[in-house]
Amino acid sequence: MRGKNDLELVALTKRYGGTTAVNAVSHLFAPQSYVCLLGPSGCGKSSTLRMIAGHETVSDGSILLDGQNIAHLPPAARGTAMMFQSYALFPHLSCKDNVAFSLKMKGVDREARHARAMKLLDLVDMTHLADRLPAQLSGGQQQRVALARALITEPRVLLLDEPLSALDPFLRIRMRGELKRLQRELQITFIHVTHGQDEALALADEVVVMNNAVIEQAGSARDVWGAPRTEFVARFLGGHNVLSLAQGRFALRSDAVRIDTQGVEAVVTHVEFQGAHVALTARMAGDQEILAHIPEAAFYADPKSPGEALRLTWDEAQLHKLTA
Amino acid sequence: MQRILNSRHLTGWLLAAPLVVVLAIFLVLPVLMIVVVSFWQATEFSIVPAFDLGNYEFLFTSHVTLDVFWNTFRYALITWALTLGIGFTVSWFLAFHIRSQTTQVALALLCTVPFWTSNIIRMISWVPFLGRNGLANQAFLSMGLIDAPLDWLLFSDFAVILAFVHLNTVFMIIPILNSMMRIDRSLLEAARDAGASPFQIMTNVVIPLCKPGIMIGSIFVLTLVMGDFITVRFMSGSQSANVGRLISNDIGLLQYPSASATSVVLLLTVLLVVAGMLRLVDIRKEL
């Protein structure tokens, strides 16, 4: 499906000397959606984002926005805007002037650019602190200002480089709600780089999992979580077992594993209470570890402790064959 | 007794005492002496303790001294402008164009190499280069750029400024480099992202964030140049004068009261200049 303002990567490659950070990545991002680039550090997700933003030169390949190759345009001419990991607010400028910075560069007069900046600050609920310096703001407030500054250029694609990593867990959950709300309101594409799978699953319309400079799997959060294609994806998303069975390797959601009177024999090695469920680790024949998420009530009806033998079972339909 | 020893005030004073004593004996007392002597009277053969404003009156009414003060300011301003330009450019190159930190440190140290020899030797070494039959003139002649040797290369204001810039640029480079190194690189990217041209990045981001470094370097250069007397004597071939030379001449002629009065005025001038600069920029952030 192609729409207006869609972003496509074509064989996008980044090499640093001998190492390849991004290896011929091709992907069409769903337009006007919230996309999360997910992967461990060093997987190439940040390099990909920085190439889209124009802060990293492209070694090979193209970046198409609305059908136009933007790979060699300066950052401000691309129709993208970037929000930096540490927010990169100018420490010598007030919030208002930070937000108005790009308009000042364009030569918009003081009054007009301040009026526009106040509108953007209103969007992120920060008008009351417009005259403060960044150092006088909390992390969450700085982030709102950074967001307003990125949005004032009216980008078609907003690029967010680990935007929530500097916040405490409570604020992180609140801010991700706001990011999602903004994306819905503005109807533009957000590309959000993160290494937190919970963040990606919570936010993304489309999750793009990267590893070793390539895309491992892309799709809606539910599809990727429900049917990981490779062992890496299954392990990285968490909550999955990777089992070697006679027919090959399979991913199995740990909440699909049940304790039963028949099934595979196993010995409990570890029990961890996690609130709504209990994480039970057991060792099966062939020295394979298996993790089962048992609903809390069901587990305590017949509690198990480490060293006990038990039988585990699951529906065959829950097994997903892994390609790698 | 115990209570007195435990008093925080006393400990504080005791800790500060050595420095207070050293500064009092070697700084405050001599300055006071100079201030006192500046009011004394002097003739060709005697110095008379008195309270007389004659020295100051002469200082502020004589065309010679006013010219010399003006000349000192001129040297200071031109040197300041040139060292600032060079220092900022060199720092920019070191901070933003050199990627490896080892190279950065090595090049910064290279800037200080001239300081491994004495001031005077560095000045004198210009003589064979700039003189009438010096390297520069010979090179220009052999290239056919000039027909006759240039006279203004040595023993001129040009030579004085050249030496000042040579001697003092590093005092500009180091503090500015220090400020620049503290600028988060993502700020420059953020500015680029917002559509700033390289020149706009310089004027809107780098210069404002370098202000403390620029100010510290400027204070170094201005005070060094305004207090100098040897560079002007050497490089102008005793044809130009600044306040430092005025004072040193007076001392040579044993006119201590007059030298003292000039010193006091120079000291106040420099302090006023520095105070004015400190009002413009808060350098405490940098210390």
Spatial strand order of the sheet with A320-321 comes to: A240-245, A248-253, A320-321
E strand residue ranges, A233-299 = 240-245, 248-253, 258-260, 264-273, 277-284, 289-295
Q: Is residue B53 part of a domain?
A: no
Q: What pLDDT is attached to residue B7?
A: 73
Q: Give one DSSP letter per residue of B113-143, joined into a string.
A: GGGGS-HHHHHHTTHHHHSTTSHHHHHHHHH
Q: What pLDDT is attached to residue B151?
A: 82
Residue in the block written with tokens 């959606």: A33
> A49 — contact with chain B (CB < 8 Å)?
no
| d(C-alpha B170, C-alpha B87), whole Å | 7
Q: What pLDDT is attached to residue A304?
A: 86
| d(C-alpha B260, C-alpha A36), whole Å | 74
Residues with Cβ within 8 Å of A255's Cβ and at least 6 positions away in sequence, in order, are: A239, A277, A292, A293
Name the minimum distance, in Å, from the CA of A128 to any CA of chain B: 24
> A323 — contact with chain B (CB < 8 Å)?
no
- Residue of chain A nearest B184, judged by CA positions: A88
Q: What pLDDT is attached to residue A2?
A: 59
**Average pLDDT estimate for A280-306:** 87
Q: What pLDDT is attached to residue A1?
A: 47
Q: Residue A53's beta-bridge partner residues?
A: none
Q: To the nearest whole percent, how much of chain B has pLDDT over 90?
A: 49
What total of structural domains would you count in chain B?
1
**Average pLDDT estimate for B197-226:** 93
CB A242 within 8 A of CB A322: yes
Question: Which tokens in the block code for residue A134?
Answer: 């960044």
| d(C-alpha A321, C-alpha B6), whole Å | 77
Q: What pLDDT is attached to residue B24?
A: 95
How does pLDDT run across A161-174, given as a tens digit for each residue? 998 888 888 888 88
Q: Is residue B254 part of a domain?
A: yes
Indicate which of B183, B187, B193, B214 best probes the interface with A, i.e. most A CBs within 10 Å of its own CB.
B193
| CATH number of the domain that residue B91 is part of | 1.10.3720.10
> Which residues form the domain of B229?
63-286
Contact A90 B205 (CB under 8 A): yes
Q: What pLDDT is attached to residue A63?
A: 93
What DSSP state is assigned to residue A262?
S
Strands A157-161 and A80-83: parallel
Q: What pLDDT is attached to residue A17?
A: 86
Q: Is residue B126 part of a domain?
A: yes
Strands A34-38 and A206-211: parallel
Q: Is residue B33 part of a domain?
A: no
Residues of A in contact with B208 (CB under 8 A): 92
How does pLDDT run across A227-285, given as a tens digit for each residue? 889 989 998 988 888 888 878 888 888 888 888 888 888 899 989 998 888 999 998 88
Q: What pLDDT is attached to residue A102?
A: 93
Q: Collapsing DSSP states into helix, strand and coil, what is residue A275?
A: coil
Q: What pLDDT is attached to residue A3?
A: 62
How does pLDDT run across A255-266, given as a tens digit for each residue? 888 888 888 888
- Ranges A83-97, B9-23, B40-54, B62-76: which has the least confidence: B40-54
How does pLDDT run across A14-67, given as a tens digit for each residue? 999 889 999 999 999 888 899 999 999 889 999 999 999 999 999 999 999 888
Q: Is residue B128 part of a domain?
A: yes
Q: Is residue B72 part of a domain?
A: yes
pTM: 0.81
Give the closest residue to A152 by CA, choosing from A203, A97, A84.
Answer: A97
**Average pLDDT estimate for B169-189:** 92
What DSSP state is assigned to residue B224?
H
Residues of A in contact with B210 (CB under 8 A): none
Q: Is residue B54 part of a domain?
A: no
Contact B192 A74 (CB under 8 A): yes
Name the minimum distance, in Å, from the CA of A104 to any CA of chain B: 9
Considering only residues 264 to 303 of chain A, which have any Cβ-Cβ distance to chain B shorter than 8 Å? Answer: none
Contact A84 B200 (CB under 8 A): no
Alpha helix ranges (H) inside chain B: 2-6, 8-23, 29-37, 54-61, 63-92, 101-111, 119-124, 127-130, 135-143, 157-181, 185-193, 198-201, 207-227, 230-235, 243-252, 256-280
Q: To the nearest whole percent, how much of chain A has pLDDT over 90?
A: 48
Predicted confidence band of residue B285 (pLDDT cuts 50, 70, 90):
low
Name the minimum distance, in Å, from the CA of A157 to any CA of chain B: 13
**Average pLDDT estimate for B134-156:** 86
Contact B209 A149 (CB under 8 A): no
- Ranges A145-149, B197-201, B219-223, B278-282: which has the least confidence: B278-282
How does pLDDT run across A95-136, given as a tens digit for each residue? 999 999 999 999 999 999 999 999 999 988 899 999 999 999
Q: Is residue B103 part of a domain?
A: yes
Q: To the nearest whole percent, how much of chain A has pLDDT over 70?
A: 98
**Average pLDDT estimate for B203-228:** 93
Contact A53 B193 (CB under 8 A): yes
ipTM of the complex: 0.82
Question: Which tokens in the block code for residue A36?
Answer: 């999360």
Residues of A in contact with B194 (CB under 8 A): 76, 101-102, 105, 149, 153
Indicate which of A52, A105, A133 best probes the interface with B, i.e. most B CBs within 10 Å of its own CB.
A105
Contact A85 B186 (CB under 8 A): yes
Q: What pLDDT is attached to residue B153?
A: 83
